[in-house]
Structure 1
Amino acid sequence: MVELLRARNLAGVTHGFAGRKGGVSTGVHGGLNVGLGSEDDREAVLRNRDLARDALLPGGTLVTVRQVHSPDVVTVTGPIAEEDRPPADAMVTDRPDLILGILTADCVPVLFADRQAGVVGAAHAGWKGAVAGVTDNCIAAMEALGAGRDRIACAIGPCIGRSSYEVTDDFAERFEREDAANARFFTPGREGHCQFDIAAYVASRLADAGIRSIEMLDEDTYGQPGRFYSYRRSCHRGEADYGRQISMIALGS
């Protein structure tokens, strides 16, 4: 069975954060690997994408983009063929039965919904995209479809946790140069290093953008190998490749 985690603040909205449970992939990709860019068997990946879609909204159309760690957003008005996926890291729509799917393997998945306006969004926020404003741009794209940022609810799904995300002091300093208050997202680690709470950083960006309803699922992808894929964990284990999980949101018809 595909496991879909739900956010309380998105109750009534068709959404779910999938992990690796319930898929057909084997080996290092074992489970629900939906990453077309992985070295997994393509047919297994396509089957996993169908399983994820059907677990959320049978009969819906899954739409994904070619994620490039950018701040770019696509407004989705219909199906997008796999070979036509645009380079972007967020999507918004006001069309029913289109499932917006964001792939991650440690980065931060964010789902957005304005129930009143009937507008949803999804963003992939790695540190580069987060700093560049991918969540801000997603909110603006939703507003262009009639959403109001005072009504948008956001949920932050499974991602790498602070205790698992070691970065260099130089990495932290670039955040602090942007805003001294960003120091609160880093705690001391071994010499020359610190631990980064990327989920909290993304949540702060959402709050600064005027989002009032923000829920963090607080699930560490690195520390739960049986439930989630993790790029960093795969690197530390010396594995040849890694899988990707999917976070999805849609407007039911």
Structure 2
Amino acid sequence: MPTIAAPSRSELIEHLLRTRIAGEVATPRENNLAHYRELANGNRYYWLGLELGDRWSDEQDVLAVMAERCGVDEDPEHRQGQDTIDPELTVDGLDRAAALLRKAAQDRQRVLVATGHPGGLLDVHAQTAAALSAVGCDLVRVPLGLTADEGVVAQLAGVAMYERGATLWHTHSPQPMAEILTALPQEGEELPDLVIADHGWAGCAAQFGVETVGYADCNDPALFLGENEGTLSVCVPLDDHVINPRFYEPMTAYLLDAAGLAGPSPLV
């Protein structure tokens, strides 16, 4: 895949809207509200590895944070139909993430990159891992033989993922990340200085106290709540599985350019 030029902020926003990474996204309002309700009712599947206690037991409070940090419709009476992600908030999140990537590069930090959404975000993460490795960051090698949720923790193109039955799986579970972060000290390895991930991989790392950048869709409120509380460093709102994963290329180019890193150079 060739390197592409980084778009300007306005060009990226136009692209996000056109490809529905933001703006009117595919995730329906009904699904969003159902997930907010499940989180508020204490269903830990929707907590994505964070410990939220009883602080978010009112789904209207969850909706308010999602309107502020993700850009969904703030009207509680909007129960059905389309929902939205604010592209300005997406780019703001990328800018905050870029600042952490820039610091990681300057300090040659130890970085762990992971995804629970290989069908959508693998290339985003692989390009980020490659760019950080190219400037001397120490990419964490996942210890061999780790198992979680009846599968194994794999690593491809510098990105940790969940594999089961010789297939990379979409998973919200925090358990694979928990296995990594527990195993590293046992093998005499330090924890990462920075994690870049999504889903339960990001939530678990943040709960472990590691500085974390997480990508999240509008039906995954936990990471936005984690950012709101200061547990998660940055949460970038986006549709995490659009119809063509190559739609994310301009977004990744913008992120890496803002971080002062080389353009996309995927290892896959």
TM-score, normalised to structure 1, is 0.29
Structure with greater proportional strand content: 1
Which of structures 1 and 2 has the larger relative contact order (alpha carbons within 8 angstroms, sep 6+)?
A: 2
Structure with greater proportional helix content: 2
TM-score, normalised to structure 2, is 0.28
